[in-house]
Structure 1
Amino acid sequence: MAEWSVAEPRKLAFDAPVATLRVRVVNGTVNVVGTEEGSARLEVSEIDGTPLTVTHKDGTLSVAYDDLPWKNFLTWLDPGSWRRDAVVSLAVPAGTRVEVGVVGAAATVSGIEGPVEVKGVTGDTTLVGLSGRLRAETVSGSLEAQGITGDLRFTSASGDLTVVEAVGSAVRADSVTGSLVVDLDPAGSPPDIALTTVSGEIAVRLPHPADAEVEVDTTTGSVSNAFEGLRISDQWGAQRLTGRLGSGGGRLKATTVSGPIALLRRPPTEEGPYDDDPLDTPLDATAPDDDPSNGPTHKKVL
């Protein structure tokens, strides 16, 4: 096993294979990018406080604090240990399995084809161009994802989820007060979406024409719908929207207690009779229609 203690800015290169990457930091920034190279590179450009321990053993590269375990990571709330800052950037082979834990740090992962798992307390996460299975769990940190093709599972207490141009077919998300916004790329397969919040907002933008069985429920919130052929019922304040779009090859299920739900429609990919249809609605005010500059971007550090 090779081991380094990093207490000041430093660069390291690893010639031995890296199959798994594990990063756990407190505050600062983590950037992970997948490359076609067979080796891995690490740059710690800023560090303040406790040194980071870097180990490389049996194909696993770890960059972490010794007292910050992966198990029960989200319960690690020692205020005296939060005074640690590091800016960590890594380039690893695209097929690497990536595990990132951040307390207050921001994390960006891009270009990875292997599975990715992120845990965060208050830190926000950005995922760009990932094709493996994705798992993210936060307390209040938000997650932004763009151009993902792998299945996504997101769980948070109050963090928001924003997914833009998703090609993957499965999105599962649960939040108590956070908002859940999902935009599907027309090139993707029929969707398999299940979203649940208590008081957060839900917005889903489907390709037009869409292909899904729809089941939308809110107890005291409101429902808005841009598709014909769906039935809405209202009983004792609760609203329910159901029906089939296209052949019903996909599935969309969205549930809130008091949050509003919006089912939006992407413009047709080719010119047609709906080009000027007002129901072809932008996803939201911060992510105008087909403008990737308003989605998450990756700042390549290495």
Structure 2
Amino acid sequence: MAGWTIESPQRLTVDDPVVRLDVRLISGRLNVVATDGPVRIDVTQVGRRPVLIDHADGRLVIRQERGRGWSGVLGWFRSMHRFPRVNVSVAVPADTLADLSMVAGQLVASGLRRQTRVDVVAGQITLMALGGNTTATITSGPVEALGVRGDLSLETVSGEVILADSAAERVRAQTVSGAITCDLDNPRRSDITLTTISGSITVRVREDSDLTVRLNTASGRITSGFPQVHTSTFPLPSSEGVLGAGEGKLWASATSGSIALLARAVDDDGEELP
């Protein structure tokens, strides 16, 4: 087992294998990227309490020391002023299992392709070019997923959800208060569910998509760029239809907000048009 106590900016290289990464930070910025080289940890800013790093049996743990007397998230918020921001960047193999959490700040994860779990209380989450199974939860703030594949689940209580260039086979996006904006390029038999309580949903898919579509809103307007999707206003606004062979599923539901389904043009060879 190897361990480090980081009290000032420092760069480390871990030569032993890493198959799992666990990060627990209080306040600051975390950037996790995939690499083909050795595992690297770059701490560029440290608060009054050190950053603790441990490595054993293929598991790399990075955390901020919390001190005594903390009790759950409420204790974290009460003590935030005592813990200045830290900046940590970690480069690990793409197949690393990652479990990343932060109380307040910005978290970026990119290039991982097996399983990634992200949890932030207040701040911002950005996910780029991930694969495998990805789950991201944030209480207050936006979450963005760019070029993500595999199985994707995004949830925010108060904040916006943005997906772009997504080719995930399964998408679950949910927000209590906030908009959902999606640009999807999903494969056949994909399963997409978008839900918001208070906010709008805008989703764009290829015009040659194979999806069974169902759109529902309790209070709002539904618009569609596909003539195959027919809209009814009684008893509540809803739209249903089948695109292509209908092998996949697109369900979108808003309690208070509008839903827009847009078509992205492609040419005869299936290439997107500008």
Please, which of 232, 237, 257 is the counterpart of residue 259 of structure 1?
A: 257
1:190 Cα deviation from its structure 2 partner = 4.3
Q: How does 1:78-97 map to 2 (within 5 A)?
A: 78-82=77-81, 83-97=83-97
Asked whether the 8 Å contact 1:96–1:112 carries over to 2, the reply is: yes
Residue 270 of structure 1: how far off its partner (Å): 4.5
Cα deviation, residue 134, structure 1: 0.3
How many residue pairs end up in the alignment? 269
Q: 1:247 — aligned with what?
A: 245
2:119–2:136 CA contact under 8 A, matched in 1: yes
Partner of 1:56: 55
Q: Deviations over 1:43-98 (max 9, x none)?
A: 10111221111111111111112439xxx976664322353211101111111011
Give the partner amino acid of 2:206: P
Deviations 1:242-281 (A, max 9, x none): 1111111110001111111110111214489x97xxxxxx
For the 8 Å contact 1:217–1:239, the answer to whether it is kept is yes
For the Cα contact (< 8 Å) 2:43–2:89, is it kept in 1? yes
Residue 98 of structure 2 is matched in structure 1 by: 98
Matched residue, 2:107: 107
TM-score normalized by the length of structure 2: 0.92
Residue 119 of structure 1: aligned partner: 119
Partner residue in 1 for 2:212: 213
The CA distance in 1 between the partners of 2:97 and 2:113, in whole Å, is: 8
Cα drift, residue 155 of structure 1 = 1.6
Q: Residue 200 of structure 2 corresponds to which residue in structure 1?
A: 201
User: Given that residues 188 and 247 in structure 2 are in contact (C-alpha distance below 8 angstroms), is that contact kept between their aligned partners in structure 1?
Assistant: no
Equivalents in 2 of 1:97, 1:23: separation in Å? 11
In the alignment, is the contact (CA less than 8 A) between 2:143 and 2:156 conserved in 1?
no
- Give % identity: 33
CA distance in 2, matches of 1:254, 1:48: 43
Q: Which residue of 2 aligns with 1:18?
A: 18
Q: Please list every run of 5 or more consecutive structure 1 residues that lacks an aligned counterpart in the other structure.
A: 276-289, 291-302
Measure the CA separation in 1 of the matches of 2:123 and 2:218.
31
What is the alpha-carbon distance in structure 2 between the residues aligned to residue 74 and residue 185 of structure 1? 37
Alpha-carbon spacing, 1:249–1:87, altered in 2? closer, same or farther (3 Å): same
User: Which secondary structure state, in structure 2, belongs to the residue aligned with residue 78 of structure 1?
Assistant: helix
AA aligned to 1:6 is: I
| Contact persistence 1:204–1:263 (CA under 8 A) | yes
SS in structure 1 of the partner of residue 79 of structure 2: helix
Distance across 1 between alignment mates of 2:200 and 2:151: 22
Contact persistence 2:27–2:80 (CA under 8 A): no
- Counterpart residue number, 1:293: none
* Residue in 2 that maps onto 1:139: 139
Instruction: Give the RMSD, CA atoms, in angstroms.
Output: 2.1
CA distance 1:178–1:43, shift in 2 (3 Å): same
Per-residue Cα deviation, 1:198-224 (whole angstroms, up to 9, x for no partner): 111111111111211111100111111
What does residue 191 of structure 1 align with?
A: 190
Q: Distance in 1 between matches of 2:267 and 2:5?
A: 53
Q: Using a 3 Å threshold, how does the CA distance of structure 1 residues 75 and 224 change in structure 2: closer, same or farther?
A: farther
Provide the C-alpha distance between the structure 2 equivalents of 1:55 and 1:250, rounded to a whole number of angstroms: 44
SS in 2 for 1:24: strand
CA shift digits 1:131-183 (9 cap, x unpaired): 12100111012111111112111122112111101111211011111211111
